[in-house]
Structure 1
Amino acid sequence: MKILGVSAFYHDAAAALIDDGEIVAAAQEERFTRKKHDPSFPSRAISFCLEYGGVSINELDAVVFYDKPLLKFERLLETYYAFAPKGLRSFLTAMPVWLKEKMFLKRLIRQELGKLGYDKKKKIKLLFPEHHLSHAASAFYPSPFQKAAILTIDGVGEWATASICLGEGRNITILKELKFPHSLGLLYSAFTYFLGFRVNSGEYKLMGLAPYGNACSPDIKRYEQLILDELINLKKDGSIWLNQDYFDYAAGLKMVNEAKWELIFGIKKREPEDALEQAHCDLGLAIQNVTEKIVILMAREARRLTGADYLCLAGGVALNCVANGKLQKSGIFKDIFIQPAAGDAGGALGAAQAAYHIYFEQERKVSRSGDALKGSYLGPTFSDLDVVLATKKYKAGYTCFEDFDTLTRRVAELLAAGNVVGWVQGRMEFGPRALGARSILGDPRNAAMQKKLNLKIKYRESFRPFAPSVLADECADFFDFEGISPYMLLVHPIAERLRKAVPADYQSLGLREKLYFERSELPSVTHIDYSARIQTVHKSTNPRYYDLIRAFKELTGCPVLVNTSFNVRGEPIVCTPEDAYRCFMRTGMDYLVVGNFLFDKKLQPDWIEKDNWKEEFVLD
C-alpha cells in the first residue's frame, strides 16, 4: 500500500511517501525551489518522492493532506465573529484567499496532482486528518515505543494548539487538547516578534539568545512574574489562558499590542537589525524559563493521563531543544523520542502514517534497531555524474579520491589546521537540522571558529551557537549526557572536566565580551551557559560522517566536530552538488567535499556571478 502525505499553504510545505508502512522518502519543497519555508504546493518534493520510490502518481492508494481546511476556516470565522468589530482589516485580507483557494482545497489539490500526471479516472482517495493528529502520528509511529504518551505543541492547527494523546500499537487516542487562541507556540512566537526576529523562523534565535540573559539579575524574575501575572494564566496541568488584550494575532495583522508590551516590560520593540541589549537577553531568558516550566507541566499531565513510561514529541515547540533537554533530565519519562521534522513539514509524514494505520487499519511494526526514520536521511541523493556536470558548468578544479578512507584522513587534516569544510554526502536530511549530509564543519577546539563561521560564512548574528557532532559511543566522555541524540534536538551541558572558569564579574560583562570568552576546551560548541545542542553520530545511519569524525579523532584525540547547516542566512539548506558549489564560492569556506570530490577554494576560477545572496534570499 503506497500513500503520499502532503503539507502545504502555511509554511514549510513538504511531501512524504510510505510503502506498506515503511518510510521511503520525505523532503521539504524549499530545498528544490530555494525559497526558505516555501508554503506552496510541494510539486517538486512530490515528484522526488515518487521517483525515488519508483511509483507513478496513479499507483498511489491515497493522498493525505495534513490538516482539515474546512475546520480551520470555521475557526477563522468564529474568531473574527468573537472579536468583531476588531480585525476588519485582517478579515478583508484573509477572506479572498480562503474563498478563492482554501475553501476548494480538494479541487486545488487534484489540479496540482493533475500537473504531475494524475488521471482523474483513477479516483485516488484524498484524506484529511486533523493537524495535531498528523503531528502525533509523525512522532509515535516511527518511534521505538510500543506504547507512549504523545505531546504535540505548536502555534495552532485547526482549533487545537496542543494535545496529549496515547499511542498504543497502531492506535492513537486524543485525550486532551488546548484550543485557540490560547497557545504556548503563539506565546513564544509573540516574544520572537517583540525581540526583533521573524515569526515561524526566528524562534530558534530567541532560544539561542536566552542564555545571554543575566540569570542572577532580579529583572529575570520580574519579567517572568509579569508574563505569569499579565500575559497568561497558567494551570497545574500546563494549560494556559492568554490575555488577548496584549495580543493581536487572533484578529489583527501583528502578533502583539506593541504599546502595551512596551509599557509593562519597559523596553521598546526591537527591530530586526537593531543592536541587542541586555534587556532583550533578559526578556528572552524569562520567556524561555516560562516555556520550559509549561512544557514540564504538560509532560507531567501526559504521564498522569496515560500512565505510559515513554513520551513522543512533535509540533514546532518540540524544536525547542533546551526545553527538551530539561524534560529529559526531569525523569518524568524513562525516555523521549522527538520527531526531527517536528514542525509542519513533518505533518506530511504523519498524515500518511495516520492514514495507513488508522484509516486503512494496517498493523504497526516497531523498529528493533532504534526508530524508523533512517537517521532522517530521507531526501534526494546524487551521483558522481551530477558532481562532474556541476564542475564542468563552473569550470571548477577538484581532486577525486578513489579511496574514501584517504579522503577522510585528508579532510581531518584540513579541519585540524583550522579550515572550514563544506560536507555533502548521500541523501539529504528531512527537517530543519543538518545532520552530516549537508553540513559545514569545523574544529571545535578552535576558539576563533564560532566567529569565523557566523560572520564570514553564515553571515548571521554572532551570538548564535553551533552544535557539536560526536561519535555516539564517546558522547558521555565530553558531555553530561549518556543517551543518544541523533537529531540534534537535545541540549545538555559540556562535561565538567572540559570547562574553564569564568571571571567573577562575568555576568556583568556585555554580550560581546561574554561571547568570546573561552569557556571550555571545545569553545566553538560551548554556549554561554556551558551547554551544547548535541548530535550523536551513528555508523548504522551515516557511516561516512562517522568515519570522518573517527579520522579526526585519530589525528587529534577529539571525536567531536562543529556542525552547522550548509547554507547562508536566509537560504534553505543546499540540496544538489550545484547548490553546494555555489554556496561554497559565495562564502569564506576553505574547502568543499561532495561525495569523493574535494574542492580547494584557492584552486577555483574567479567567481564572476554577482554576489547578491542578500537580495536573492529573504533574511530569516
Structure 2
Amino acid sequence: MNAPTPRRLAPAVVLGLCSYTHDSAAALLVDGELVGFVEEERLSQVKHTRTYPAKAVNWLLGQAGMTADDVKVVGYNFHGLRYLAAVPGSVSMLFSATTRGRALPRAGSFTKIAARAVRRAVTLQRMFPGARIDAIAHHRAHQLYAFAASGWEDAAVLIVDSLGETQTTTIAAARQRAPGRPQVRPVHALHDPASLGYAYGAVTEHLGWRRGDEEGTVMALAALGDPARFRNLFEVAIPLTRDGFALNPSLFLVRVLSSGYPRLSPRFAAATCPPRDSHAPIEQVHRDLAAALQERTDTVMLHLARLARARTRARRLCVGGGVATNCVSIGRIIDAQIFDEVSVPPAPGDAGTAIGAAAATYLDLGAGPLSGVAGTCYLGPSFPDIERDLSAWPGLTSRPVHGDEAEFLAEQLASGRIVGLFRGRVEAGPRALGARSILASPLEAGVVDRLNATVKFREPFRPFAPMVSVERAADYFTLGQEAPFMSMASGVTELAWQQIPSIVHANGTARLQTVSKEGNPFMHAVLEAFARRTGVPVLINTSLNVKGKPICGTPAMALDCLASSGLDGLLLEGRWVSK
C-alpha cells in the first residue's frame, strides 16, 4: 500500500504597503523571506507619490510568480482608528487662549483621517478579495523594520518622525526571541503636538523649500549660519522635558491635518524673518535660522538617545522615522558615545514601513522566521536585458563594455568624467548606494560646483557624499563604525582635508558611505581600481537624478537623466552610453 502524498501547504504570502500617503511603496514576504521592496516613485517618475503603488505591487507579484489572488494578508502601515485618540486632547485645547482657535478644526481633521483610513482598508479589500487586511500601528512598522534591518540580537529602537496616528516619538526595547523572530516592546512614547518632524518641516517651508522633501537642503544650509542668533528662541520654541520635548504652541501652532492651516505663528515670523519666497535670494538671516533649527534638532535627538539608553539599558541603538534621515543628528549621537553602535536602515522614512508592516503581519501569523531584511538595500527591480534602441534619445550612442567593467568605470572617473551608474537592483531608501548613482572623482578641481550647476541643477551650497572602501575608511573619516547606507555624518581626518577637501562640508563633516566587498562587490572593485590609479579610495556618490525628480528606477529614466543633464556618460547594465 502506497503512503499518502503529503499535502503541500500554500505559502504564506504577505504584502506590505505604504499607500495613500507620501513615499508610496510595497514589500512582499513569501514564507517569511523578503522577495523585494520598491518605492513607487522609482517606477512612476512621480517624486514622493501618494498613490496606491500599483507598479511596485505588480513587479513584486511578477517577481514571485504570483497574482493578487495568492496574497493571504495585506499589512497596511497605518492603524486608522488610532487617529481618534487625538480627539479628547483636541477638545481640551478649547480651554487655552493659545490653542482655542484650532481645537475643533484639529479634532475634526483627525476624525476625518480616521474615517478615510477605514475607507482605504475597504478599497484594499476589494483589490485583494482573498486576503485579510491588517492595519499596523505606524510606529510599530518603523520599529520592526529598523531593528530587523540591523541584524542585531538586541537594541534600543528610537523612532522620531512627524506623525504616526498620534505618536511622534517612541522608544522600544528590541530583541530576537529566536533567529528571525524580532520582537519590539514599547517603553515610551510622545504624542502630537510634540513633534520634531512637524517643527523641522514648518521651518523648512518658512525658509522657502518644500516641506516633506527639502529638509535636507535646510540641513545643508545650516552649516553656513550662526546658531547663536536664534538659539534662545528655539530653546523656548522646543523645550526639553524630563520625558522628551515639547513644542511651544505660541510659536509652532498646533497641528490640523489640512494644508490650509499654517504651522508657524506670526510671533515666530516677527522674531525671525518673513517667509521666504522659493526664488528669493538666500540671506544671512535664513542661514542663521537654519543653523539654530539644526542645533536644536541635534540637542533634542541627543536627549532622546540618552532617554533610550536609560529606559532600555541597551548598548546598541536603531533609529528610524523621517527625522532619522538627518545625518548630522545621527552623527552627533555616534560622536557622543551614548551607545556602542548606531544603525539606521536604508529606508528610515515612511516608505520603509511597507517592510515593517509586512514583517509585523507575518510575525503575527506565528509562522516561520523572517529572513532577507537584515543588512540588505538592493531590493528593487533590475533590468539586465535592456533595449538597445536609443531613437527616443537622439544624440546618444551606445556600445558594449568589453573586459572588466569596474576597471573601465574607474578609468572614466580617474580621467575626470562624471558618470551615471545604472546596475543591478534598485536601492531602498532616499540615498543612491552604488546601483543608481552619479559618480565623480573628488580630486577634480571645481567638481562640486560642476555637479550642482550642470548635473543636479541645485543650490550651490549643497555638499556631495563620499563613498569609501570599508578597509580604508579610518584613513579619511573619524566615524568609528561602518555606514553602509549613507545615513551618518562623520568628521574627517587631516588626510581627507589634504587630499579630498571637495567632500568636506562647511561644518567639517561628510555624509559617509562605507562599501564592503560583501555588500556591493562591484562598487568595492571600482573603489580599489580608482585607488590604484589615483592613490585615493574615495569617490563622490550622489543619486542618479536631477533636482525635483526621483532616483532613476528604470533605464528610460536613466537615459532621460543623461540626455537632460551635464553627465558625461552612463554605464547602463554593461553598456557605455555617451553623448
TM-score w.r.t. length of structure 1: 0.85
Query: Which one is further off, 93-102 or 528-537?
Result: 93-102
1:306 and 2:312 correspond: yes
Tell me the alpha carbon deviations over residues 496-533 of structure 1, each in whole angstroms, 9 at most, x when there is no partner.
2332xxxxxxxxxxxxxxxxxxxx53133111122100
Residue 457 of structure 1 aligns with which residue? Answer: 455
Pairing of 1:269-308 with structure 2 (within 5 A): 269-308=275-314
Cα distance, 1:76–1:65 mapped onto 2, change above 3 Å: farther
Which letter maps to 2:366?
Answer: E
2:378/2:425 contact within 8 Å kept: yes
1:316 and 2:322 correspond: yes
Residue 568 of structure 2 aligns with which residue? Answer: 590
Residue 250 of structure 1 aligns with which residue? Answer: 255
Which letter maps to 1:315?
Answer: G
Query: Which one is further off, 203-212 or 189-198?
Result: 189-198
1:180 & 1:88 partners in 2: Cα distance?
Answer: 13
Which letter maps to 1:173?
Answer: R
Equivalenced residues, count = 556
1:99 & 1:529 partners in 2: Cα distance?
Answer: 43
Pairing of 1:137-156 with structure 2 (within 5 A): 137-156=144-163
Residue 245 of structure 2 aligns with which residue? Answer: 240
Cα distance, 1:257–1:529 mapped onto 2, change above 3 Å: closer
2:207 & 2:168 partners in 1: Cα distance?
Answer: 22
SS class of match (1:58): helix
1:18 and 2:21 correspond: no
1:7 and 2:18 correspond: yes
Pairing of 1:135-534 with structure 2 (within 5 A): 135-169=142-176, 170-214=182-226, 220-229=227-236, 231-237=237-243, 239-248=244-253, 250-251=255-256, 253-265=260-272, 267-357=273-363, 359-362=364-367, 364=369, 372-374=374-376, 376-384=377-385, 386-389=386-389, 391=390, 393-394=392-393, 396-403=396-403, 405=404, 407-499=405-497, 520-534=498-512
Cα distance, 1:271–1:399 mapped onto 2, change above 3 Å: same
1:5/1:66 contact within 8 Å kept: yes
2:463 & 2:104 partners in 1: Cα distance?
Answer: 39
Which letter maps to 1:240?
Answer: F
2:384 & 2:496 partners in 1: Cα distance?
Answer: 41
SS class of match (1:142): helix
Query: Which one is further off, 543-552 or 306-315?
Result: 543-552
Unmatched tracts of structure 1, length 5 or more: 215-219, 500-519, 602-620
**Shift of residue 82 of structure 1?**
3.9
Which letter maps to 1:464?
Answer: R
TM-score w.r.t. length of structure 2: 0.91
Which letter maps to 1:570?
Answer: G
Residue 581 of structure 1 aligns with which residue? Answer: 559
**Shift of residue 88 of structure 1?**
9.3
SS class of match (1:212): coil
2:101 & 2:69 partners in 1: Cα distance?
Answer: 47
2:93 & 2:55 partners in 1: Cα distance?
Answer: 40
2:327 & 2:103 partners in 1: Cα distance?
Answer: 38
Cα distance, 1:74–1:483 mapped onto 2, change above 3 Å: closer
- One of 124, 132, 136 as aligned partner of 1:125: 132
**Shift of residue 48 of structure 1?**
1.3
2:261 & 2:192 partners in 1: Cα distance?
Answer: 16
Unmatched tracts of structure 2, length 5 or more: 1-11, 177-181
**Shift of residue 86 of structure 1?**
2.7
2:72 & 2:433 partners in 1: Cα distance?
Answer: 32
Which letter maps to 2:185?
Answer: T
2:324/2:344 contact within 8 Å kept: yes
Let me know the Cα RMSD of the aligned residues.
2.3
**Shift of residue 563 of structure 1?**
0.6
1:308 & 1:363 partners in 2: Cα distance?
Answer: 27
Tell me the alpha carbon deviations over residues 61-120 of structure 1, each in whole angstroms, 9 at most, x when there is no partner.
311000111222553686378458734996799699758843412211123x2xxxx4x2
2:144/2:356 contact within 8 Å kept: yes
